[in-house]
Chains A and B, each alone.
Chain A
């Protein structure tokens, strides 16, 4: 597997592209941005595939890269906000760093429940966002999460508990409306 055998890599792209895209989409909340993150992830993976010894599953490796690519972009966005020529106020990027006061009502237009989750998710810090996505959206096991995030099982447990508490506090005012 690797640069010497592009066919293998092509197969990996076919197998993992959708998963990587969805992780990127759930992290950033913007479809076009997610496509770009996913593409960059595969380019990086291809460049450094020699380092990947097959010690972990391919998706673990790809997920780690996806998270790092997204985090780097977050940093870039926080340092270089987009300014419109018609406005002096920075435009809201499709994704943002943790906002302490999300406005969930804004997100209800498309799908109330999904919109609420999106806004509340955006209020979390990057690591909390990732752990919630991996565990509660994708149903990954604690072991897989620990491999992706390169941390111990105990750390996964405590980070997940903290992330869930934070998310629950954000979403609590709207939970009653969300009950079916």
Chain B
């Protein structure tokens, strides 16, 4: 097939449909007279079209239209349900986003360095910078710190008035601004309130500690009453410590093992004493913040072999 014929093949389709412009059709008619290849292609195409036209129509069968209509009628409810479920999922996604944003905004924004304002005899405010611990650090608070007041900023009168405007006219308005982290993992948390005060002719925004809430993390304890569990826990302890210490003998007919996880949510726990009562074992333990307890690598569990009792009671020592 030469180049012209190959090009004409593209015209063939429009030619059989009578869609070629007059001039092109006349040219193609002339070409067909002299080109057996294009004539053969035309015959093939015509036969093909004949086969396609003959392709039988099918009947969908009785009741087909009724089936469509019943499916259409039942579908709107399903569609409505789908639409509702979509709305609910969008709503939930929105709520989740709102929660994330709220939590993010509630994060402490206090800088590590707090500014302490003192008013000297001259009446001009002097700003001193005092290095203090960041409020986001998880540290038990000393009783002396409870009354500390940290001033963050000194405002000019007009700025203070602007700031006061939305509040009551009393001059001392408390705005709930949680400035300390509120995580359940910390042993203690402190709540702050932003206080707007007028002092020595200047308005001052101060953050006052309003409450200290200690969060007692309930310690969990494992009670091992069979050898399989004992082996499993002991081996996991060995693996984590890169050790291969032999499994201590425990007579599980009479004894059981109390295993206290030594670190739970950043708090270190240590068994101080176990006491056997007729109906229970009392495990007395102490909780310390990291760095306050013993130095060195602490194994994941502290084990105590005790006589079997139906229950275990935990007692936290101060």
A interface residues, Cβ below 8 angstroms from B: 3, 6, 9-10, 13-14, 17-18, 21-22, 25-26, 31, 34-35, 38-39, 42-43, 46-47, 111, 113-114, 116-118, 132, 135-137, 139, 142, 157-158, 160-161, 164-165, 167-168, 171-172, 175, 178-179
CB neighbours of A157 from chain B (8 A): 13-14, 19
Do B72 and A178 touch (CB < 8 A)?
no
List which B195-251 residues lie within 8 A (CB) of chain A. Answer: none
Do A31 and B49 touch (CB < 8 A)?
no
Do B57 and A22 touch (CB < 8 A)?
yes
Do B65 and A13 touch (CB < 8 A)?
yes
Number of inter-chain CB pairs below 8 Å: 105
Do B56 and A114 touch (CB < 8 A)?
yes
Do B13 and A160 touch (CB < 8 A)?
yes
Do A178 and B51 touch (CB < 8 A)?
yes
Q: How far is the CB of A173 from chain B (nearest CB, A)?
A: 11
Apart from A35-B61, A164-B48: 18 A-B pairs, beta carbons within 8 A:
A13-B72, A18-B60, A22-B58, A31-B60, A34-B58, A38-B68, A42-B68, A46-B75, A47-B76, A47-B79, A114-B56, A136-B48, A137-B53, A157-B13, A157-B14, A164-B12, A168-B48, A175-B44
CB neighbours of A136 from chain B (8 A): 48-49, 52-53
Once the chains are docked, how many angstroms separate the CA of A139 from the CA of B49?
A: 10
Do B59 and A18 touch (CB < 8 A)?
yes
* A45 nearest CB neighbor, chain B only: B72
User: Would you call the interface of chain B mostly helix, strand, loop, or mixed?
Assistant: helix
Contact of A114 among B12, B55, B61, B72 (CB under 8 A): B55
Chain B interface size range: 35 or more
* B56 nearest CB neighbor, chain A only: A114
Q: How far is the CB of B190 from chain A (nearest CB, A)?
A: 56
Contact of A21 among B55, B58, B75 (CB under 8 A): B58
CB neighbours of B51 from chain A (8 A): 113, 116-117, 171, 178
Do B9 and A17 touch (CB < 8 A)?
no
Pairs across A and B, CB under 8 Å, 19 listed:
A10-B69, A26-B55, A31-B58, A34-B58, A35-B61, A35-B64, A35-B67, A38-B64, A39-B71, A42-B68, A42-B72, A113-B54, A137-B53, A142-B19, A157-B19, A167-B48, A171-B48, A172-B44, A179-B47
Do A17 and B75 touch (CB < 8 A)?
no
Once the chains are docked, how many angstroms separate the CA of A36 from the CA of B10?
A: 37
CB neighbours of B55 from chain A (8 A): 26, 114, 117-118, 137
Once the chains are docked, how many angstroms separate the CA of A21 from the CA of B51?
A: 20
Do A21 and B64 touch (CB < 8 A)?
yes
CB neighbours of A46 from chain B (8 A): 72, 75-76
Q: How far is the CB of B265 from chain A (nearest CB, A)?
A: 44
List which B7-44 residues lie within 8 A (CB) of chain A. Answer: 9-14, 17, 19, 41, 44
Once the chains are docked, how many angstroms separate the CA of A35 from the CA of B11?
A: 37
CB neighbours of A179 from chain B (8 A): 47
Once the chains are docked, how many angstroms separate the CA of A118 from the CA of B55?
A: 9
* A136 nearest CB neighbor, chain B only: B52
